[in-house]
Structure 1
Amino acid sequence: MKKILVFLVLLSSSFLSAQSQKPSKAFKNLVEIMQGHYTSELQSKKDSTYFNISLRMTPIWKSKGAFLYVEQAMASKQDKPYRVRIYKLSERPDGKIVSEIYTLKDEKAWIGKYTDPTLFDALTEADLELKSGCEVVLERVSKNTFRGATGEKSCPSELRGASYATSKVTVTKNSILSWDQGFDAAGKQVWGAEKGGYEFLKVN
């Protein structure tokens, strides 16, 4: 009898654990709307201080969780992206969604591979390096709208004399507003847009 009770308790615990790990509607919503090809072309035409940037986010490793392969490049040089990343999305118990940022050790080997996401099956997590402290924590603020940011000074950066970098992001069904900035140790901005974030509109 005791063995049966122990089995039932373990079975119940396993079921509850499986339930708690089931992605929420908000999580699945965010993963879905982030995917696609975006450009800041319209913004660049309105304000010449912004460049025409291409942003691509392609789902990979679907059997392992929520991963996006990301390329960011000047629209005129999409074959030479200046940013190549993997985003790993996960959900915290409090309902907030964390987007961890990974660099690729041999990023040139993967440029343009978004045209066939199955090619990334050959890529392993050992080929990635986590940008510790640079994760973006997002919250759902309304239907199809999520907003989040990095920690205030948690993301180290050495670009152009910076000491740390920050990112502020708003994701909607058809757009992404992204404001990346670098600051020196005294808190002075040394790179990134000054007026506000880049407005990426979804192309497809």
Structure 2
Amino acid sequence: MKKILLLFAGITLFISCKSGQNQSSKNSSELNELVSIMQGHYSSEIQSKEDKDYYNISLRMTPIWKEKGNYLFVEQAIFDKQDKPYRVRVYRVTQKSENEFISEIFTIKNEKDWIGKWATPKDYDKLTESDIELKEGCQVTLKRDGKNNFSGATGDKTCPSELRGASFANSIVTVTKNEILSWDQGFDKEGKQVWGATKGGYRFIKMKE
């Protein structure tokens, strides 16, 4: 029997958001590249057909708050239950150095009020920075490996997790033009894995819409 809660708990720790000043006018071409390829609607359908231990997951990332920086509104759901996402977040991506980028993640207060608003994105203008809360220590540092190719991970034991007896969570991520690979796992204080995929990350393929 598939352990839905264990698998879903860690998917997409890697993408994020953080309150701050307007940076949209300061973006480098590399930062624009990363934010651009992250946007869109993704599915893990192919992987789910190849391996029954993986579900067909919908991952949808919609740009919001463009005047404030590089923000994305994210929903994840079983593909045929997209009206009931199990994960709702807001993310922001920033540049750390010439070849490094930081991705942080925020939870949303009253998240049910925002489900499905990707269909009318102007509605996100009503969402404010006071409505989101940073998940401390769960940011991912991504390095640009080449054109439309970024990879990275969370810090070593920096992202706290209490799910299923976990002490911390790790995430390993690769972002390319049409695919995101995210391997998220939770470990107890002895370093034993207690949730998350065991074979490898979820492979999300960007859909044509």
Q: TM-score, with normalisation over the residues of structure 1?
A: 0.88
1:164 is aligned to 2:168: yes
2:190 matched to 1:173?
A: no
1:102-181 aligned at under 5 Å gives the runs 102-181=106-185
Greater Rg over alpha carbons, structure: 1
More helix by share: 1
Is 1:65 aligned with 2:69? yes
1:76 to 68, 80, 104: 80
Find out whether 1:88 has 2:96 as its counterpart: no
Q: Give the share of equivalent positions with the same residue, in percent.
A: 64
Counterparts of 2:110 and 2:161, CA distance in 1: 20
State the partner residue of 1:12: none
Structure 1 gap ranges (5+): 1-20
- Which of 44, 51, 67 is equivalent to 1:47? 51
Aligned counterparts of 2:151 and 2:68: Cα–Cα separation in 1:
25
Quote how far apart the aligned CAs of 1:24 are.
1.3
| 1:89 shift after superposition | 0.8
What count of residue pairs does the alignment treat as equivalent? 184
Moved over 3 A (4+): none
1:120 partner amino acid: Y
Q: 1:128-153: per-residue Cα shift (whole Å, max 9, x none)? A: 01000001111110110000111120
**Aligned-partner residue type, residue 160 of structure 1:** R
- Give the drift of 1:95: 3.4
CA drift of 1:92 comes to 1.3
Point out which structure has higher relative CO (alpha carbons under 8 A, 6+ apart). Answer: 2
* Aligned pairs for 1:27-46 within 5 A: 27-46=31-50
Q: How far is 1:22 from its partner?
A: 2.3
Deviation at 1:93, TM superposition (A): 3.2
TM-score between the two structures when normalised by the length of structure 2? 0.86
Task: Report the CA distance between 1:94 and its aligned residue.
Answer: 4.5
Listed as ranges, the gaps of 5+ residues in structure 2 are: 1-24
What does residue 182 of structure 1 align with?
A: 186
Equivalent residue number for residue 200 of structure 2: 196
What amino acid maps onto 1:56 in structure 2?
R
Superposition CA RMSD, Å: 1.0
1:37 partner letter = H
Looking at structure 2, the residues matched to 189 and 122 of structure 1 have their Cα atoms a distance apart, in angstroms, of: 40
Aligned equivalents of 1:63, 1:47: Cα separation in 2: 42
Corresponding residue of 2:10: none
